[in-house]
């Protein structure tokens, strides 16, 4: 199956991103034809610092390599390096009604959050996302629940194009991540972990051991002493158990048994030690990659070339179907 997924370049990866997306990507590349993208054009719907933006984009590229994406097994590229994304997004915008875009839950949510900057990009975001996916004849897209509505619209756009101009695009499947798709904040366990919240609410994938230990020690727990998975009554402990389960490759019930009758402090120490053990190799790999600038640039160049050849072929087919005059 051909698979595509992307991540915005803003903020360092935290363990919620890792468990919900990039760890899964590293596993998918072994079995499928995978494309992974740094979505820098999408990030422009929020104001970016021009002096820092290219640095954060390159840093995100290095982070993806550090967590296990292998350029020999997948294609990793920067969205803005492939001009066909923007071209196809414009064509899709002519097939998408205003009402379809206004219905998008994420548009409504983002418009509330940045009410002083409700730019047109927030509204047309889904047509660019559809272009990202369909440009590579993608068959499956791993997404969280918050992106399923966008993927439904992507399928609608593919269907509209194919019925109007002739078959070009697949209607891609939704590949929902079953576990770890929603890791909660350490400080507010009823709220999803986010890099935009307070520093204490999340743990970075490349964070130092001492910092990880402090954050786990301070993580919010619940009333009572029982270490039990119950998201309704014990959201704090349930979140920490989920993190332990996913990093240890133990089931939740196995994790519960391991810490039955133990104090919260014992469980937290074990979780902190586990995270340090699992994340330290990733931190060291990132440091090594940061010192190998030419190597990273070569991978970046190869990714762009490979993605470009496929994107160009698709757009040639699209232009011919639409009837655009050849240059």
Q: Can you give the length of the chain in residues? A: 327
**What local confidence, expressed as pLDDT, does residue 200 receive?**
82
Q: Are strands 74-78 and 140-143 parallel, antiparallel or unpaired?
A: unpaired
Name the least confident of 124-133, 194-203, 263-272: 194-203
Q: Which residue in 195, 269, 285, 321 is the catalytic one?
A: 195
Output the DSSP codes for 25-59: HHHHTTTSEEEEEE-HHHHTTS---HHHHHHHHHH
Q: Which residue in 23, 60, 110, 215 is the catalytic one?
A: 110
Q: In sequence order, what E strands does 180-319 have?
A: none
pLDDT in tens, 134-164: 999 999 999 877 778 889 999 999 999 999 9
- In degrees and rounded to multiples of 5, residue 285 shows phi and psi of -65, -40
Q: How far is CA 111 from the centre of its chain?
A: 21
Residue 323 Rama label (left phi>0; alpha psi -120 to 50; beta) = left
Nearest to 61 by CA among 80, 87, 45, 47: 80
- State yes or no: is 286 an active-site residue: no
Q: How far is CA 260 from the centre of its chain?
A: 34
Q: Which structural domains are found in the chain, ordered by start?
A: 2-181+292-322 (3.40.50.620), 199-287 (1.10.240.10)
pLDDT in tens, 74-94: 999 999 999 999 999 999 999
Q: Name the strands in the sheet holding 33-38, side by side, starting at the edge strand that comes first in the sequence.
A: 74-78, 33-38, 2-7, 140-143, 173-176
Q: Rounded distance, CA 223 to CA 234, Å? A: 8
Q: Rounded distance, CA 155 to CA 133, Å? A: 10
Q: Which residue in 23, 192, 215, 268 is the catalytic one?
A: 192
pLDDT in tens, 9-35: 988 899 998 988 899 899 999 999 999
C-beta atoms surrounding 199 within 10 Å: 11
Whether pLDDT at 207 is above 80: yes
- State yes or no: is 192 an active-site residue: yes
Q: Rounded distance, CA 126 to CA 172, Å? A: 15
Q: What is the pTM of this model?
A: 0.90
pLDDT in tens, 157-203: 999 999 999 999 999 999 876 655 579 999 999 998 887 666 788 99
**What local confidence, expressed as pLDDT, does residue 178 receive?**
63
């Amino acid at each position: 199956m051909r698979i595509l997924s992307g991540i915005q370049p803003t903020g360092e990866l935290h363990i919620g991103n890792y468990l919900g997306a990039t760890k899964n990507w590293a596993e998918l590349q072994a079995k499928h034809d995978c494309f992974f993208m740094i979505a820098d054009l999408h990030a422009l719907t929020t104001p970016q610092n021009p002096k820092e933006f290219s640095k954060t984009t390159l840093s995100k590229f290095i982070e993806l390599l550090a967590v296990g994406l292998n350029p020999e097994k997948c294609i990793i590229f920067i969205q803005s390096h492939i001009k066909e994304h923007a071209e196809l997004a414009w064509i899709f915008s002519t097939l998408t009604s205003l009402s379809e875009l206004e219905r998008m839950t994420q548009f409504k949510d983002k418009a509330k959050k940045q009410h002083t900057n409700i730019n047109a990009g927030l509204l047309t975001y889904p047509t660019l996302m559809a272009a990202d996916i369909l440009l590579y004849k993608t068959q499956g897209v791993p997404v969280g629940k918050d992106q399923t509505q966008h993927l439904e619209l992507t399928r609608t756009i593919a269907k509209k194009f194919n019925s109007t101009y002739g078959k070009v695009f697949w209607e891609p499947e939704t590949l929902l991540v079953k576990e770890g798709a929603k890791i909660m904040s350490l400080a507010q366990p009823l709220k999803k972990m986010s890099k935009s919240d307070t520093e204490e609410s999340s743990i970075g994938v490349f964070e130092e051991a001492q910092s990880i230990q402090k954050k786990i020690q301070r993580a919010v727990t619940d009333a009572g002493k029982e270490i039990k998975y119950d998201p309704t009554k014990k959201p704090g402990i349930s979140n920490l158990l989920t993190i332990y389960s996913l990093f240890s490759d133990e089931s939740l019930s196995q994790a519960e048994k391991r810490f039955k009758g133990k104090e919260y402090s014992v469980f937290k120490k074990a979780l902190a030690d586990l995270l340090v053990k699992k994340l330290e190799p990733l931190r060291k790999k990132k440091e090594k990659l940061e010192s190998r600038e030419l190597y990273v640039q070569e991978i970046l160049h190869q990714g762009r070339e490979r993605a470009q050849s496929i994107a160009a072929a698709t757009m040639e087919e699209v232009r011919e179907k639409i009837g655009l005059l050849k240059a």
